[in-house]
Amino acid sequence: MPSIFRKDLFQGQVAIVTGGGSGIGLATATTLGELGAKIAICGRKKEKLDAAAETLAKRGIEVFADACDIREMEQVTAFVAAVKEKLGTASVLVNNAGGQFPTTAETVSARGWEAVVRNNLNGTFFMTQSVANLHMIPAKRGRVVNVIANVARGFPGMVHTGAARAGVENMTKTLAIEWAQYNVQVNAVAPGVIRTSGTDQYPPELLELSRERTPMKRLGTAGEVAQLIAYLASDAAFFVTGVTWYIDGGAHLWGDNWIIADAEPPPPPAIVAELAKE
């Protein structure tokens, strides 16, 4: 996707993009890198990262890629220190790594719940705290962009990620306040349904249902999300902090992915029936 931004917008800066080996993360790494930033990417799978690093390097981007499971604090600390050693002090962190699976609330196992909350909430906090302490707070400069999801009206069908992402949204506000004194701005983007290697793992009929329930009647692209992230990471957004930006073709306002079957309403409790008589 051609960029609307000045070519040297991030010249001399270092940007960390978690989950930068694929999808929205790779599109963001490409966008920031083509705008001049040195890029650090991480993910769980080394082969995926190596392929992404090669793609970025072919575009002339200086890149450091290493395996790191964001759920494991020790791995996070080691990765964040390695970024400083290889590329220098990071001024941009994009917390993009994450994932979940469709499930009903009554059937999700304890391990399934934990896996998703650790991935999306704990991992995001571990990475943010570590980057802030080693890179941004000492330098008194930082932009954090958290990738969450469209959780504005709950997330039926994915209760675990809805809860975790709402946690990140609240964390975004808290850190925006606590770290304003260090010149660290913290914002979030909430994508609707975006066509990526991630959503390719979802049943196509669910994606089609989401498309139909999106006012703009299409799925988004990773490049579109990357442009919004680039704006929030840039100086143009210097006075913006603690805010969640939806990029979803209007889906947080209208249309439900969860079909509630037509059924007789349950009988009201006696007190409600009594009050209705008055």
Ligand X SMILES: NC(=O)C1=CN([C@@H]2O[C@H](COP(=O)(O)OP(=O)(O)OC[C@H]3O[C@@H](n4cnc5c(N)ncnc54)[C@H](OP(=O)(O)O)[C@@H]3O)[C@@H](O)[C@H]2O)C=CC1
Ligand Y SMILES: CCCCCCCCCCC/C=C/C(=O)SCCNC(=O)CCNC(=O)[C@H](O)C(C)(C)COP(=O)(O)OP(=O)(O)OC[C@H]1O[C@@H](n2cnc3c(N)ncnc32)[C@H](O)[C@@H]1OP(=O)(O)O
Say if CB 131 and CB 82 are below 8 A apart: no
Q: Is residue 261 a contact residue for ligand Y (CB under 6 A)?
A: no
What 8-state DSSP symbol labels residue 54? H
The 16-55 site mask, x for binding ligand X (CB under 6 A), equals --xx-xxxxx----------------xxxx--x-------
Say if CB 8 and CB 29 are below 8 A apart: no
The helix or strand, by DSSP H or E, that contains position 92, with its residue range, turns out to be strand 92-95
Q: Is residue 201 a contact residue for ligand Y (CB under 6 A)?
A: yes
Give the footprint of ligand Y on residues 107-166 (CB under 6 A). Answer: 109, 111-112, 115-116, 119, 149, 157-158
Q: Which stretch binds ligand Y (CB under 6 A): 82-90, 197-205, 214-222, 226-234?
A: 197-205
Q: Is residue 147 a contact residue for ligand X (CB under 6 A)?
A: yes
Give the footprint of ligand X on residues 70-129 (CB under 6 A). Answer: 70-71, 96-99, 119, 123
Q: Which parts of 121-250 are beta strand (E)?
A: 142-147, 184-191, 194-195, 220-221, 244-247
Say if CB 167 and CB 125 are below 8 A apart: no
The 149-188 site mask, x for binding ligand X (CB under 6 A), equals x---------------------------------------
Q: How far apart are CA 134 and CA 217, in angstroms?
A: 43
Least CB distance from residue 45 to ligand Y, whole Å? 10
Give the footprint of ligand X on residues 191-220 (CB under 6 A). Answer: 191, 193-194, 196-199
Q: How far apart are CA 98 and CA 113, in angstroms?
A: 14
Question: 91 or 196: whose CB is closer to ligand Y?
Answer: 196
Least CB distance from residue 184 to ligand Y, whole Å? 26
Give me the half-sphere count of Cα atoms (radius 13 Å) on the Cβ side of residue 38.
15
Strands 38-43 and 63-67 come out as parallel
User: Whats the size of the chain, residue-wise?
Assistant: 278
Q: Is residue 132 a contact residue for ligand X (CB under 6 A)?
A: no
Site residues for ligand X per CB under 6 A: 18-19, 21-25, 42-45, 48, 69-71, 96-99, 119, 123, 147, 149, 191, 193-194, 196-199
